[in-house]
A and B are shown apart, each in its own frame.
Chain A
Amino acid sequence: MSEPSDEALLAGMAIGDERAAVVFVRRYQRRVYGLARSIVGDPRSAEDVAQDALVRVWRHAQVFDPRRGSAAVWVLAITRNLAIDAIRVRRPTPLDPAQFLTLGSLSEERLPEEAADASDRAPQIREALRALPVEQRRALVLATVYGLTASDVSEREGIPLGTAKTRIRAGLQKLRRALGAEVPLA
Chain B
Amino acid sequence: MSVRPADCATVADELPELALGTLSGARRAVVLSHVQGCARCIDEVDRLASAADAILAVAPDAEPPAGFETVVLERMGLSGRRRLRVAPRRRITRIALAAGALAGALGTGLGLGLSSAGGGGPAAVAPIAADLTAHHAILGEVYLAAGSPGWLFMSVDHLGVTGLVTCKVRTVGGATSTVGTFWVEGGAGSWAYQLPVPAGQVRAAWVLSGGAVLASAQLNR
Contact = CB atoms under 8 A, between A and B. Distances in A.
A169 interface: yes
B105 interface: no
B59 A34 contact: yes
Contact of A29 (B17, B22, B64): B64
Contacts, number: 159
A50 to B, nearest CB: 6
Grouping DSSP codes into helix (H, G, I), strand (E, B) and loop, the B interface class, with mixed when no group exceeds half, is helix
Interface stretch (B48-56, B108-116, B130-138, B189-197): B48-56
A130 to B, nearest CB: 10
A145 B22 CA distance: 13
Interface residues of B, number: 38
Interface residues of A, number: 65
Contact of B54 (A33, A73, A149): A73
Contacts of A21: 73, 76, 78
Interface string B67-80: 01101110110100
Given A18-B78, A18-B87, A150-B22, A179 B57 contact: no
Contact of B62 (A33, A106, A176, A181): A33
A22 B83 contact: yes
Centre residue among B63, B64, B73 by max chain A CB count within 10 A? B64
B17 A169 contact: yes
Given A140-B55, A175-B51, A185-B50, A34 B68 contact: no
Contacts of A149: 22, 24
Contacts of A54: 72, 76
Given A19-B84, A30-B62, 9 more contacts: A23-B84, A33-B63, A43-B65, A104-B60, A109-B61, A120-B57, A122-B57, A172-B48, A185-B51
Interface of A: 18-19, 21-23, 25-26, 29-31, 33-35, 37-38, 43, 46-47, 50-51, 54-55, 58, 69-70, 72-73, 76-77, 79-80, 100, 103-106, 109-111, 120-122, 125-126, 129, 140-141, 143-145, 148-150, 165, 168-169, 172-173, 175-176, 179, 181, 184-186
Interface of B: 13, 16-17, 19-20, 22, 24, 47-48, 50-65, 68-69, 71-73, 75-76, 78, 83-84, 86-87, 90
